[in-house]
Amino acid sequence: MSQQSEKRYSSMSEIPNEMKFAATHEWARLEEDGTVTVGISDHAQQALGDVVFVEMPELGLTISEGEEAGVVESVKAASDIYAPIRGEVIEVNPKLDDAPETVNEDPYGEGWFFKLQPQDLSDLDELLDAEAYAEVCDSEEH
The pLDDT tens digits of the residues spanning 132-141 come to 999 999 888 7
Write the pLDDT tens digit of every residue in 15-51: 899 999 999 999 999 999 999 999 999 999 999 999 9
Triad 61, 120, 134: Cα angle to 5°: 95
Average pLDDT of span 103-129: 96
Report pLDDT digits (tens) over 58-87: 999 999 999 999 999 999 999 999 999 999
Domain 17-141 sits in CATH at 2.40.50.100
Confidence band, pLDDT 50/70/90 cuts, at residue 114: very high
Please say if the pLDDT value at position 12 is more than 80.
no
Domain residue ranges of the chain, discontinuous segments joined by +: 17-141
Give the pLDDT confidence score for residue 10 in this predicted structure.
42
82 CB contacts (<8 Å, ≥6 apart)? 22, 24, 26, 66, 67, 68, 69
List CB contacts of 4: < 8 A, sequence separation 6 or more. Answer: none
Rounded Cα distance between 85 and 119, Å, is: 8
Rounded CA gap, 140 and 125, in Å?
23
| 0.85 exceeded by pTM | yes
**What pLDDT is recorded for position 142?**
67
